[in-house]
Amino acid sequence: MILKVSRLGHPVLRRPTEPVSPEELATPAFQRFLDDMADTMREYDGVGLAANQVHVGKLAAVIESEAHPKYPDEPPVPLTFLVNPVIVERSPETVDGWEGCLSVPDLRGKVPRSRWVRVRALDRRGKALELRAEGLFARIIQHECDHLAGGVYLDRMPDLKTLSFTLEQARFGGAG
């Protein structure tokens, strides 16, 4: 089922999310919710989606990028569910990159992010997961973890002069 995506201005996006208990994670309803998150992300051509973006204040995100046209030079990111994710380490070096958001439709901006991160979470079956991600995968993890803490990518933009409508950025190569 395709879920309704909350947009910037809705209070659910600014509230930190609550952890998912192992018991809740194991329920058929929560498993369906995770599938619905993946379907919603794909329906709207996203590469990540946090639970609060679909009006559920739980600490869960889904990520996937298979040859995405917005990121042609990046390797694919397999379908990944992160439940109760915590970034436990990040590179001191940051990289500027273009980001957009399903909750901030039609806009993109340059955001500095750590080049790599190490994250601990549960997978959708409740198994402990620890992974080190770099490049686009690391950027998406950081973006979704910001959502889960009540933030959006605009909060991290040091210079709003790079904020562009997606169509104009594609047409003119972006601002700044």
pLDDT score for 176: 46
Domain 11-172 falls under CATH 3.90.45.10: yes
Give residue for tokens 């959006």: 152
Alpha-carbon gap, residue 74 to 125, rounded angstroms: 28
The secondary structure of 25-62 as a DSSP string is: HTSHHHHHHHHHHHHHHHHTT-SEEEGGGGT--BSEEE
Q: For residues 104 and 7, is the Cβ–Cβ distance under 8 A?
A: yes
Q: Where are the alpha helices (DSSP H) in the chain?
A: 22-25, 28-43, 135-148, 166-172
Mean pLDDT across 59-64 = 98
> Rounded mean pLDDT of the chain?
95
Burial profile 149-160: b = 16 or more Cβ within 10 angstroms, e = fewer: ebebbeebbeee
Residue positions annotated with a catalytic role? 144
Least confident window among 15-19, 65-69, 87-91, 127-131: 65-69
Q: How far apart are the first and last CA of the chain?
A: 39
Question: Six-digit token pair at 45?
Answer: 């051509």
What percent of the chain clears pLDDT 90, i.e. is strictly above it?
88
Alpha-carbon gap, residue 143 to 97, rounded angstroms: 12
Per-residue pLDDT tens digits for 16-49: 999 999 999 999 999 999 999 999 999 999 999 9
Q: Is the pLDDT of residue 175 over 60?
A: no
CA distances from 136 to 28, 40, 59, 92 (A): 31, 20, 21, 17
Alpha-carbon gap, residue 96 to 173, rounded angstroms: 15
